[in-house]
Amino acid sequence: MERWSGLTADEMLLLETTFWSSGGSRHRMAERLAFSKSKTNALIAGLVDQGILAEAGLQQSSGGRRAENLQLSGTLGVLVGIDIGATSLDIAVLRPDLQPVAQHAEAADVRQGPGVVLARVRVILRELLARCGVNARQVLGIGIGVPGPVNFQSGQLVNPPLMPAWDGFSIRDLLREDYAAPVFVDNDVNLMALGELWRLKRSLSNFLVIKVGTGIGCGIVCHGEVYRGAAGSAGDVGHICVDQEGPRCHCGNVGCVEVMAAGPAITRMAVQAANDGQSEALAECLRRTGRIDATDVGHAGRAGDAAANGIIQKAGSLLGQMLASVVNFFNPSHIFIGGGITHIGPLFLAAVRQSVYQRSLALSTRHLEIQYTPLGAQAGITGAGVLAMQETLKVRGVAP
Amino acid sequence: MERWSGLTADEMLLLETTFWSSGGSRHRMAERLAFSKSKTNALIAGLVDQGILAEAGLQQSSGGRRAENLQLSGTLGVLVGIDIGATSLDIAVLRPDLQPVAQHAEAADVRQGPGVVLARVRVILRELLARCGVNARQVLGIGIGVPGPVNFQSGQLVNPPLMPAWDGFSIRDLLREDYAAPVFVDNDVNLMALGELWRLKRSLSNFLVIKVGTGIGCGIVCHGEVYRGAAGSAGDVGHICVDQEGPRCHCGNVGCVEVMAAGPAITRMAVQAANDGQSEALAECLRRTGRIDATDVGHAGRAGDAAANGIIQKAGSLLGQMLASVVNFFNPSHIFIGGGITHIGPLFLAAVRQSVYQRSLALSTRHLEIQYTPLGAQAGITGAGVLAMQETLKVRGVAP
């Protein structure tokens, strides 16, 4: 950490560019920074000498001599990514280039409140760091994603519907007791969007990441940056109305896409199909395990169960209806769908696509790609790591 | 024009900042540019000597000596703003600080195609320039707004639903025959958003401008810049569905907000109320003038006509329903409503607000302002002027 406290603005820019281009060559780096070749080489040499940058093997080249891949040195320290979901907890210790060193995932219930959940976070994190032989002072930065609206500046949750006990709570302050490293908190879907932006090395400027789990949320990338809105609540698409005659949502309105197409709605439809005798496969699952989730519905559907496929079709079509409005408004180039829903399989995606292509304007959908998020279950953790590194570089960059 | 071909990057930056801060003091200019006071003064003195900047009278100051207002010199030349609406044509000759020198507005029908409409544009523009004693070579830049999707790079219209005869037509090439100045074309609502951004001196970063006229469109400002989307069709909100059982729209889908709440829908509801004997005021208007538009419905409503007020309420509520989805997604700080609908009066705005506040999340609406666009009928022309100046500065800035 102390190692980069005396770096120049140009050196910090080179570090940031290296982080975002993960494994680029010197040549590509010079191009991106609009520095001369000799200036870039001198800067790199200095940073390699200080143990901040490392040259990682040889890169395949189209001809001539091979260029070295550059990355942030593993000796700098580690990043911590924490992904708090409504029903899950994921924690990873990552190298500065975001390669995981140690990782742990378990079921959790965010409604138990910050006391219970964060006590568990502290225990797991201590164990993970011990497992990699890293001490608390080697942690460079900590990034945390939570399933609710966050005031990004203060790190506090603001009226989170899925986690009311956390309202106004500062996660940042609590973790500061254990670690000197800076702690950054953001909404989980914003972090998924940040993770994809990093995976794509910023090659796309305007895209969306939709998370479908217990709720439905949307991370927005606009002009190449994550967009949080005027009050930090941008992307709250779960409460867009898709049926004026639909059921009542916990937000007070009726027909919100979240209450009709997210995880709990899929479970509700599946339990009903099981109990009504419409699906032997779902009834069997309910008897055997006492519950049915999106993964079970997907299994039943792929085995040819018509009721399960009807549920998948309906949920996908409703999500697509909401996305059609969003596509008309925002005209993204890509929509990546993530969260627990991805286990339901390809039929869901087909239903979403059909619904969007039918309801959106031709010009907006001509080149629109809709797919499951390539980072999969790692999207949240990756985004938390990107947040930790990016904001730590900013904090360090402005320090004297 | 030639006068600024040899300017430095710093001088171009100062010009651009002066344009966007319209009448700022030297002190504020130095702050914004992060230049030293002495550097800023030297740059300004040079540009004043060359007749590029002018000091415009004295600014009220809180104490001590008064600071001079800076603006682009009127002797530089003029800008041309052209606002082609579905049923109207507005052309203005503007000073470099966007003060109108001469302006003309008339009814027009964009469906007559580019040949007819642009021949008329050329005649009016020639007359306006002659009236101000300005010749074609003194035109610095030309900005044009059109009611359809535009490929901003090529200046061509792409599948415009309200003006099919213009598909693929390049307005830019045609006007190049008369003027050496660069010609820039954009969607009309994007230009309204650009105009408001200029009026606000960039003090808001994330807001929307909604135009309700023959169609419904939306200009988006995101991260302080106009956002056009991946394919240039962002803001196409007219075809967001607000009623799955609603009437069929010209786009092929049903229940689009445009077919239910824009100008023609208001006229259709008003004619029906007149013919069904529900409104004496509207029937009288129809007898007298042979037609009813939003302005007439507004008049009848303010005179206490219940049917007219019902129509206003219904249209406002449907627009608000669409905006509620957009607000949940985008979380803007302000929504400015413009276009012909503004003549309908305050009840419409009240209905829009009620519908948005009811359907959007509390966090997104807590500080949300919804109002008619302060630039009013000048929004389109102002935006066209801003486009002309901004892009001309960019083009000139990169020239050797």
The confidence score (pLDDT) of residue A286 equals 96
pLDDT one-digit tens code per residue, A300-350: 999 999 999 999 999 999 999 999 999 999 999 999 999 999 999 999 999
| pLDDT for res B399 | 42
The one-letter amino acid code at A297 reads V
Q: How close is the nearest chain B Cα to the Cα of A48, in Å?
A: 33
Single-letter amino acid, residue A312: I
> Quick one: A370 and A386 in the same domain?
no
Write the CB contacts of A8 (distance below 8 Å, at least 6 apart in sequence): none
Comparing B370 with A163, which gets the higher pLDDT? B370
Judge if B138 and B251 occupy the same domain. no
Side-chain half-sphere CA neighbours of B386 within 13 A: 28
Q: Strand, coil or helix: what is A100?
A: strand
Confidence of residue A168 (pLDDT cuts 50, 70, 90): confident
Residues A65 and A139 in one domain: no
- Are the CB atoms for B190 and B146 separated by under 8 Å? no
The burial class, CB within 10 Å (0-12 / 13-18 / 19+), for A2 is exposed
B375 and B199 in contact (C-beta within 8 Å)? yes
Give B183-208 pLDDT, tens digit per residue: 999 999 999 999 999 999 999 999 99
Judge whether residue B9 has pLDDT over 90: no
Q: Structural domain of residue B163, as residue ranges? A: 76-196+379-398
Considering only CB atoms, which chain A residues are within 8 Å of B207? 230
| A53 and A16 within one domain | yes
Contact A236 B363 (CB under 8 A): yes
- A236 vs B364: CB contact, 8 Å cut-off? yes
pLDDT value for B188: 94
Same domain, A384 and A354: no
- Indicate whether A194 pLDDT > 80: yes
Same domain, A63 and A169: no
* B361–A233 C-beta distance less than 8 A: yes
Q: What is the mean pLDDT of residues B346-361?
A: 95
Facing A234 at nearest CB: one of B329, B358, B362 = B329
Residue A234 touches partner B, C-beta closer than 8 Å: yes
Residue B288 CB partners (closer than 8 Å, separation 6+): none
- The residue in chain B having the minimum alpha-carbon distance to the alpha carbon of residue A368 is B230
Report the SS3 class of residue A23: coil
Q: Considering chain A, what is the average pLDDT of its residues? A: 90
Average pLDDT over residues A121-144: 95
B363–chain A nearest CA distance, Å: 7
Provide DSSP, B337-376. EESGGGGG-HHHHHHHHHHHHHHS-HHHHTT-EEEE-TTG
> Is A329's CB within 8 Å of B234's CB?
yes
DSSP assignment of A201-236, as one string? TT--SSEEEEEESSSEEEEEEETTEEE--SSS-TT-
Q: Write down the pLDDT at residue A371.
A: 97
Does B248 score more than 90 pLDDT? yes
Contacts of A362 in chain B (CB under 8 A): 159
Q: List pLDDT tens digits, range A346-365.
A: 999 999 999 999 988 888 88
pLDDT value of position A65: 52
Spatial distance between the Cα atoms of B71 and B61, rounded to a whole number of angstroms: 17
Average pLDDT estimate for B279-301:
96
CATH at A267: 3.30.420.40
In the prediction, which pLDDT does B277 show?
A: 96
Is residue A248 within 8 angstroms of chain B, CB to CB? no
The answer to whether B250 contacts chain A (CB < 8 Å) is no
Q: Are residues B46 and B110 in the same domain?
A: no
- Residue A228 near residue A221 (C-beta atoms within 8 A): no
Q: What is the mean pLDDT of residues A57-65?
A: 54
Long-range contacts of A71-74 (CB under 8 A, 24+ apart): A71/A18, A71/A22, A71/A23, A71/A96, A71/A97, A72/A15, A72/A18, A72/A19, A72/A96, A72/A97, A72/A389
- Domain boundary among the residues B60, B75, B90 is at B75
Residue B372, beta-bridge partner list: B337
The torsion angles phi and psi of A92, rounded to 5 degrees, stand at: -135, 145
Cα Rg, chain A, nearest whole Å: 23
Residue B16 shares a structural domain with residue B102: no
A60 and A176: one domain? no
Q: CA-CA distance, B292 to B288, in Å (whole number)?
A: 10
When mean pLDDT is compared across B78-92, B155-169, B238-252, the lowest value belongs to B155-169
The answer to whether A159 contacts B239, with C-beta atoms less than 8 Å apart, is: no
Closest by alpha carbon to A335, among A235, A228, A234, A186? Answer: A235
Residues of B in contact with A229 (CB under 8 A): 206, 330-332, 364
Between A76 and A368, residue with greater pLDDT: A368
Measured between beta carbons, which residues in chain A are less than 8 angstroms from residue B225? 223
CB atoms within 10 A of CB A137: 11
pLDDT in the model for residue B60 = 54
Same domain as A169, residue A36: no
If one compares B154 and A196, the residue with the highest pLDDT of the two is: A196
Q: Is the pLDDT of residue A265 over 80?
A: yes
The band of A398, judged by pLDDT with boundaries at 50, 70 and 90, is very low
Q: Tell me, what CATH number does A16's domain have? A: 1.10.10.10
Kindly tell me if the per-residue pLDDT of B134 is higher than 60: yes
Q: So what's the pLDDT on residue B141?
A: 95
- The single residue listed with the structure tokens 């085995």 is A303
Instruction: Kindly tell me if the per-residue pLDDT of A32 is higher than 90.
Output: no
Give contacts of A206 with chain B, Cβ < 8 Å: 227, 229-230
Instruction: Name the residue facing B253 among A233, A235, A359 (closest C-beta).
Output: A359
- B158: CB partners within 8 A, 6+ apart: A363, B148, B149, B150, B151, B167, B168, B232, B233
Last residue of a domain, one of B75, B108, B129: B75
B328 in contact with A at a CB cutoff of 8 Å? yes
Confidence of residue A182 (pLDDT cuts 50, 70, 90): very high
Q: How many domains are contained in chain B?
A: 3
pLDDT of A59:
52
A163 closest CA partner among A146, A138, A145: A146
User: Rounded to a whole number, what is the distance in Å from the CA of B59 to chain A's nearest CA?
Assistant: 32
Burial A224-258 (b: 16+ CB within 10 A, else e): eebbbbbbbbbbbbbbbbbeeebeebebebbbbbb
Between B359 and B4, whose confidence is greater?
B359
Q: Is B14 on the interface with A (CB under 8 A)?
A: no
Nearest by CB: A223 against B222, B362, B366: B222
What pLDDT shows up at residue A400?
A: 34
Distance from CA of A360 to the nearest CA of B (A): 8
HEC string of B101-144?
EEEEEEECCHHHCHHHHHHHHHHHHHHHHHHCCCCHHHEEEEEE
Task: Tell me whether A327 touches chain B (CB under 8 Å).
Answer: no
- A394: Cβ–Cβ under 8 A, 6 or more apart, which residues? none
Closest partner CB to A363 (pick from B158, B321, B367) = B158
Closest residue, chain B, to A244 (C-alpha): B243
Q: Do B119 and B229 fall within a single domain?
A: no
Q: Of all residues in chain A, what percent carry a pLDDT higher than 90?
A: 65
E strand intervals along chain A: 53-58, 68-72, 78-84, 88-94, 100-107, 139-146, 150-151, 156-157, 183-187, 207-212, 216-222, 225-227, 334-338, 369-372
Could you tell me if A182 and A300 lie in one domain? no
User: Does B213 have pLDDT greater than 50?
Assistant: yes
Q: Which residues pair with B264 in a beta bridge?
A: none
Whether chain B has a CB inside 8 Å of the CB on A152: the answer is no
Q: Would the pLDDT of A116 be above 80?
A: yes
Q: What residues of B are in contact with residue A240 (Cβ under 8 Å)?
A: 324-325, 328-329
For B370-400, how does the pLDDT look when each residue is reduced to its tens digit (9 = 90+)?
999 999 989 999 999 999 999 998 887 644 3
Interface membership of A233 toward B (CB under 8 Å)? yes
Nearest chain B CA: its distance from A325 CA (Å): 5
Last residue of a domain, one of A75, A105, A121: A75
CA of A235 vs chain B CAs: smallest distance (Å): 4
CB contact under 8 A, B328 and A158: no
pLDDT band per the 50, 70, 90 thresholds, residue A12: confident
Its pTM stands at 0.92
